[in-house]
Structure 1
């Protein structure tokens, strides 16, 4: 599927799933065309707010977005002034929806969070959380969005709101799809489809089957894609769901184009184009014109392809549609490149690059760099090709780094949101405890007054009074026990919160302390390579150091991620049977350079077909940490041995031995504990201090044991045990 198609479809896909407002595809009316606004705003009462909401909805339907936004602000101010919380909540959600449609994400999040703060019921909390999740999803922060959608789903299920639940499931599927998590996306789509069929909601059925068809197309499962798209087409035609008919014809055209079923693709595209032309939907028409250009280019009908690309470009210029401008020029560049007109292709691609700069779209800029590089490469201009390839690689690395930072920020935000929720729960528990204590005091006072009153009234009823007092005491005991249980719950939540804070503090401390120095070293090496005219020997030495630093950073990051995952989510084993020797050799391949730098010999004494039953990735991490430690603390010109021995209890004992510095007496008790410490190696190598802790956790998770033997300056041997293959288990080629 082409990148324009993917970009446009994803935008439409999100709009359909994340909002309930209509999709407006035309520009705002000019001031001359807009009629006067007549609304009586003078009476400050609840009825005015309720009428204003309907008035704002009417403005949105007429695409008068600026007026709708202005009147929403007026309604919010009036609701606050007269203390109308329900009206304030609804107007805030309405404003969040407006900002979402205009892609103003910060404002969407602000008003959604405000609505969440003043929500007074599960129903309102569900709406506010969904609005907040929509904002994060549309901004590409799918990790946070998924966490929020799951909260919405839990509330919707508890309220037995079936239709709302299906909508949230579609939102979850969308968020997982944008993350590339196809299995989770399909799971939510299919469950939403089942519930929609039970409710006989044909609009949902048409939308979900269309999305399933698109998802299977992107997964290159053409058979399933065509099945669901045709089902969506049938339902849409039978129930006249026009908005989905356009999407399904476009998706079918894309599928048939990928399958080179050109006649069917042209028919589907032409049907979609007719719909867009009849409704005046210019962006939709531009998208279909571009795809028709791709179709005719694939059929080698270049003149017709150029005509459609140029029509798409002309229409995009008229309405200043950014995506249309970029992809139309890119399509013309592709066409010229295919025909061998390299100079003209370069001109079109440079224009796409200029558009990317104007719209500040890094991914489009990266694509333009690659297209220019490919043209120069095909034309034999190697010097220019190299220059543009370097630009491409530099920008790609920058985008990857930005994406990593963005994902890290999402996880931190998700952590903070959960932390805030836990704090809120603790406060609520404390308030409930205080309320219970007040109730207890009231009960004591009432009981005492009743007892005194009855004593004064008549001694004849003394026995009856005593019985009531006993009953009251029993209730007090039950109340006290409930309070004690509540105190224990609060204490547990407090301890869990402190544990999570310690984990976060420790993780950030390790990142700040142990990753900053290697990254600074990498930056210095790269600066020397770029800014200085180095000899071949110096260049070789620098590149060797670069590779060494990259391996160290990779090992550190694996340990950090493994440790963070085990602390936050626990460990899920994926056990299978594999050859221990092959696993050891695979790990040793990663340490050849480090061993060669210290002239260390790596000897493996593991028999062939030493089949064990364990999680392959975790076993590699254990071996990698033990071998890395052995290299780190070994002297130059020494030997490291990795050997295994099968024992009578159907386990293997695996050993990693070095002839290095040994472990200092004061540090031996710290090995395998949660206490964070790290030591420099014989060549001043650094680590995170997490490796051996992870080794112990992973080995014990497999039911094994791990221990060590060491002598000061006499080397160290680490041993661990792991289960051997059982007769009923089949060997997997790891």
Structure 2
């Protein structure tokens, strides 16, 4: 039973008629075994084992479709004869088959059933093997806590059973999981003992894998010298293996480590050996990757013509293999090389091709590099408008990479926190159980008769009931704290996203505009265009910052309690229309209201003013020139419905009057090139309305039919009729 924890799952396969004949032969063999079975009970378990054996042979040959019916048949037969060990093994192999096929959800379902069945079965047969496979699936799904829980339990079981090789494989897998999440201390804490165990076992293949993984951990931790040591230790072991792809990878690792240390002359022979091995193996994709890395070394050595030839060859191989990500990175490198050689047009062509490949697969690193290259080339040609656009594209990709990096770090920390909480809870329960056991033993030693025994049992039952209540309250408290932590974490993520992207973006645009001003004098029409664009950007940034401060105050409870009072909605409408008249005139949008002065509400003036200002600003932003924005009020019972209706672009689909959910609305750019909406204004308005006992609604007849936002506020307790 072998499970690989490498980032990619290699799918073995046999091509042509040989593979099909193998599938047919396996089915025929299984049917012959069924026909030749002896007595019912023994024959049934033998048939289950035979079906499993044939299914595994087909999986090794890459015949997943032929293997799956045999494995399902083995499971059904094992259930029929109550052969739990056979059913557990069938579920494990089915999960492994779905994992190889890339169906992670189905794989996890089979393996979860296998774990549950193994736990219920006396002796728990095969539990460690199923847990190890489940850990691999969880790791492929980026379920860090789930992968660690499964693999750590499998490690304990293998250790208790004395299965040294399985324990070493599991430690190796755990080391890779920790390393992929950037937890280098724990990765080393797993890989170093695993290496020692493989040396004891004299398992050269597993030992080479551990050494390579150790080198990878140190390389990712920016310690190329130690990485070089472990890669060098792995090389003679890998040379003994038949896998030429693993040998090419090891040689490339050595070359890259030397290159990282600046030892270019020592790196080149390893690159040349890796290229030769990849050519012999016929691995086009791997050869393309090695050539792409080698070209970077040639560039560092200032051998630019040779680097260009190597990159062109790598590009051709990667285009044939379909490795889009590596091909995009290679095209960017080729573009930079052409820029150094003074081939501006060819550099721009390669950068455009890289950008076109990277955008659909969301390769932000390539987008950042290609965008920066195109911005530099356009700026050199004097096309400052396009240079600014590509600069903004590169900066947006950089911001996304930064946000993803922080999100991954927060996910790892949250996973560590959840694991520590679970371990502390388990330890606390264990300590409680030990104390309870000690108390019961002490009470039993003090028994001297039936009466005292019954009394002691009653007291023990009362203590258990009280302990159960205490544990229940403690669990409720922990659940409340978890919910609060989840909510705070979501608020923090939203705040970081807005600050890291929507607030930094306009500042980068301002920086790019200042750079343009520092360059050659701009024509008056371009200067006017950039000035108008900068004004829109700053207005949007100021509004966003004001909303962000209000929203942060609400989230942190710093806004104070609502202070409702009698409020004249007509006066409030006049005030806000006066504040936004200039913005409306600039957008060529007319503002008006139809309130008579009799609309007296009972609400917090600051909250209603905030909501109305955001609704008016939003309506102006999404209403084209010549449109109108109308404020009206209608009383229904004890509630005023204050409505802001516009003749703008409307919502993507007809929407009847319903409660506003800002997260469901699309984030779109405003009219006239205004900045894309963050959705924070509507979120803030909804929170402010709910906090003051009101409600915010939305309705639209559909695209191009305008939108109406309605604020519900209570009617004033006493309405003063003007004389």
TM range (shorter): 0.5 to 0.7
Q: For 1:275-303, what per-residue CA distance to the aligned partner results, in whole angstroms no more than 9, with x for missing partners? A: 33333433333322322333333333334
1:37 corresponds to: 24
Q: For 1:409-454, what per-residue CA distance to the aligned partner results, in whole angstroms no more than 9, with x for missing partners? A: 88889999999999999999xxxxxxxxxxxxxxxxxxxxxxxxxx
The CA RMSD over aligned residues, in Å, is 5.2
Pick from 348, 351, 376 the counterpart of residue 349 of structure 1.
351
2:328 corresponds to: 326
1:691 corresponds to: none
1:169 equivalent in alignment to 2:171: yes
SS in 1 for 2:111: helix
**Equivalent residue runs for 1:531-546 within 5 Å:** 543=541
2:484 corresponds to: 506
SS in 2 for 1:93: helix
In structure 1, C-alpha distance between the alignment counterparts of 2:139 and 2:289, rounded to whole Å: 23
Q: 1:23 to 1:508 in 2, by over 3 A?
A: closer
Q: For 1:132-184, what per-residue CA distance to the aligned partner results, in whole angstroms no more than 9, with x for missing partners? A: 22123223443543344333334433434333332222222222222222233
Shift of 1:255: 1.3
The answer to whether the 8 A contact 2:334-2:350 is kept is: yes
The answer to whether the 8 A contact 1:426-1:493 is kept is: no
SS in 2 for 1:37: helix
1:567 corresponds to: none
In structure 2, C-alpha distance between the alignment counterparts of 1:517 and 1:315, rounded to whole Å: 44
In structure 2, C-alpha distance between the alignment counterparts of 1:343 and 1:417, rounded to whole Å: 54
Q: 1:366 to 1:149 in 2, by over 3 A?
A: farther
Q: 1:340 to 1:501 in 2, by over 3 A?
A: same
2:116 corresponds to: 117
SS in 2 for 1:34: helix
2:290 corresponds to: 288
Q: 1:514 to 1:196 in 2, by over 3 A?
A: closer
SS in 1 for 2:171: helix
Q: 1:174 to 1:523 in 2, by over 3 A?
A: closer
The answer to whether the 8 A contact 1:419-1:497 is kept is: no
Q: 1:345 to 1:191 in 2, by over 3 A?
A: same
The unaligned stretches of length 5 or more in structure 2 are 35-42, 431-446, 510-528, 558-684, 689-723
Most deviating of 131-140 and 514-523: 514-523
**Equivalent residue runs for 1:681-700 within 5 Å:** none
In structure 1, C-alpha distance between the alignment counterparts of 2:135 and 2:329, rounded to whole Å: 30
1:311 corresponds to: 313
Q: For 1:577-597, what per-residue CA distance to the aligned partner results, in whole angstroms no more than 9, with x for missing partners? A: xxxxxxxxxxxxxxxxxxxxx
In structure 1, C-alpha distance between the alignment counterparts of 2:187 and 2:317, rounded to whole Å: 35
Q: For 1:83-138, what per-residue CA distance to the aligned partner results, in whole angstroms no more than 9, with x for missing partners? A: 54333322222232233334433333333323222223556333333222212322
In structure 1, C-alpha distance between the alignment counterparts of 2:243 and 2:492, rounded to whole Å: 58
The answer to whether the 8 A contact 2:244-2:278 is kept is: no
1:433 corresponds to: none
**Equivalent residue runs for 1:95-110 within 5 Å:** 95-110=94-109
The answer to whether the 8 A contact 2:365-2:397 is kept is: no
Q: 1:361 to 1:524 in 2, by over 3 A?
A: closer
Shift of 1:359: 4.3
The answer to whether the 8 A contact 1:116-1:129 is kept is: yes
SS in 2 for 1:45: helix
In structure 2, C-alpha distance between the alignment counterparts of 1:239 and 1:63, rounded to whole Å: 21
Q: 1:402 to 1:543 in 2, by over 3 A?
A: same
1:585 corresponds to: none
1:48 equivalent in alignment to 2:44: no
In structure 1, C-alpha distance between the alignment counterparts of 2:266 and 2:416, rounded to whole Å: 46
In structure 1, C-alpha distance between the alignment counterparts of 2:206 and 2:556, rounded to whole Å: 42
Shift of 1:252: 0.5
Q: 1:104 to 1:58 in 2, by over 3 A?
A: same
Q: 1:148 to 1:534 in 2, by over 3 A?
A: farther
Shift of 1:323: 3.8
SS in 1 for 2:24: coil
**Equivalent residue runs for 1:100-499 within 5 Å:** 100-120=99-119, 124-237=126-239, 244-359=246-361, 361=363, 364-376=366-378, 381-398=383-400, 490-491=468-469, 493-499=471-477
Q: For 1:668-719, what per-residue CA distance to the aligned partner results, in whole angstroms no more than 9, with x for missing partners? A: xxxxxxxxxxxxxxxx9x99xxxxxxxxxxxxxxxxxxxxxxxxxxxxxxxx
Q: 1:474 to 1:191 in 2, by over 3 A?
A: farther
In structure 2, C-alpha distance between the alignment counterparts of 1:419 and 1:290, rounded to whole Å: 45
1:89 equivalent in alignment to 2:88: yes
The answer to whether the 8 A contact 2:145-2:418 is kept is: no
Shift of 1:18: 5.2
In structure 2, C-alpha distance between the alignment counterparts of 1:254 and 1:87, rounded to whole Å: 47
The answer to whether the 8 A contact 2:332-2:366 is kept is: no
State the TM-score, normalizing by the size of structure 2: 0.57
Most deviating of 117-126 and 473-482: 473-482
Q: 1:393 to 1:499 in 2, by over 3 A?
A: same
Query: After TM superposition, where is structure 1 displaced by more than 6 Å over at least 4 residues in a row?
Result: 238-243, 402-428, 469-486, 511-539, 548-559
Q: 1:470 to 1:184 in 2, by over 3 A?
A: closer
The answer to whether the 8 A contact 1:100-1:135 is kept is: yes
In structure 2, C-alpha distance between the alignment counterparts of 1:527 and 1:251, rounded to whole Å: 38
Q: 1:534 to 1:303 in 2, by over 3 A?
A: closer
The answer to whether the 8 A contact 1:422-1:493 is kept is: no
In structure 2, C-alpha distance between the alignment counterparts of 1:524 and 1:18, rounded to whole Å: 37
2:681 corresponds to: none
**Equivalent residue runs for 1:12-31 within 5 Å:** 16-17=4-5, 23-24=10-11, 29-30=15-16
Shift of 1:350: 2.0
In structure 2, C-alpha distance between the alignment counterparts of 1:116 and 1:73, rounded to whole Å: 17
Q: 1:97 to 1:475 in 2, by over 3 A?
A: farther
Shift of 1:503: 0.9
In structure 2, C-alpha distance between the alignment counterparts of 1:134 and 1:535, rounded to whole Å: 51
SS in 2 for 1:17: coil
1:57 corresponds to: 56
Shift of 1:268: 1.4
Q: For 1:711-731, what per-residue CA distance to the aligned partner results, in whole angstroms no more than 9, with x for missing partners? A: xxxxxxxxxxxxxxxxxxxxx
Q: 1:105 to 1:475 in 2, by over 3 A?
A: same
In structure 1, C-alpha distance between the alignment counterparts of 2:195 and 2:452, rounded to whole Å: 53
Shift of 1:210: 2.0
1:618 corresponds to: none
Shift of 1:387: 0.6
Q: For 1:328-367, what per-residue CA distance to the aligned partner results, in whole angstroms no more than 9, with x for missing partners? A: 4334333323323232122222222222345455555455
1:610 corresponds to: none
State the TM-score, normalizing by the size of structure 1: 0.56
Q: 1:352 to 1:81 in 2, by over 3 A?
A: farther
